[in-house]
Amino acid sequence: MRGRGKCFALLVMAACIVTGCARGGKSSFDPGEDRVMIERDGTCRSASVAQGTGGKYDEKELKAFVQESLERFNEEHGEGSAELSDASIKDQTIKVFVDYASPQLYLDLAEENQDENVKWTLLETGALEEYSEELSNVTFVTDRQKAADIADILKEKNLRVVATEGDGLIQTEGKVRYITEGCSMRDSYTVQTTEGSINYIIFE
């Protein structure tokens, strides 16, 4: 990896800083590995997780380091584009959570930092009805891998779509209802996407 920022937790390690259970139809977000969470309102949150290797780590330095990088990013993309939600170090596990105004801003920051851990080239979200034409010829399965008819899916209300291309873990605020063939379910809220084609996730 190269660049000033990289994936935040891994960058902290490389720079040698010395330092879910579900409830009420929503998923919690405290993963043990890198992933991004897509919210119903169109925003997203990333989690960067890495293991420390010796030495003493300081949370204040970690937070200051990440905050400085985000301030530079916001100067170019607008205030509130990316904000530090939390950063912690516990038992040599480094976790950094960043909130983004949109999934595209998450990709923009990853590109600027030349973060090779982020493999998505497309990541967007919207209401199901916004994708009706785009999804008309897409094959879906349910969360239990049973075939689902897109015509029936499009009749449902208040569902959201995630469209992505690339390999990675995506968690959704609401329960996942349908995924495209090739994706796999980690749990009721988390999907492993794959390379080679556009993946779609439909969630509550």
Residue 182: name the closest of 199, 169, 166, 168 by CA.
199
52: Cα within 13 Å, side-chain hemisphere: 20
Q: What is the pLDDT of residue 144?
A: 87
Q: What is the pLDDT of residue 167?
A: 95
CB 177 within 8 A of CB 204: yes
Per-residue model confidence (pLDDT) at position 50: 87
CB 185 within 8 A of CB 179: yes
pLDDT of res. 163: 98
Q: Which mean pLDDT values do the consecutive 10-residue runs of the chain (204 residues) have?
A: 43 34 53 90 94 70 93 97 93 92 97 91 97 95 93 97 97 97 93 95 98
Q: Global pTM?
A: 0.84
CA atoms within 13 A on the CB side of 108: 16
What are the residue ranges of helices labelled H in the chain? 8-14, 59-77, 103-112, 150-153
Nearest to 32 by CA among 10, 14, 52, 50: 50
Provide the residue type at 128 as one letter: L
The predicted pLDDT at position 21 comes to: 33
Q: Which of 49, 51, 60, 54 is nearest to 8 (CA)?
A: 49
Question: Domain ranges in the chain?
Answer: 8-112, 122-203
Give the pLDDT score at 57: 63
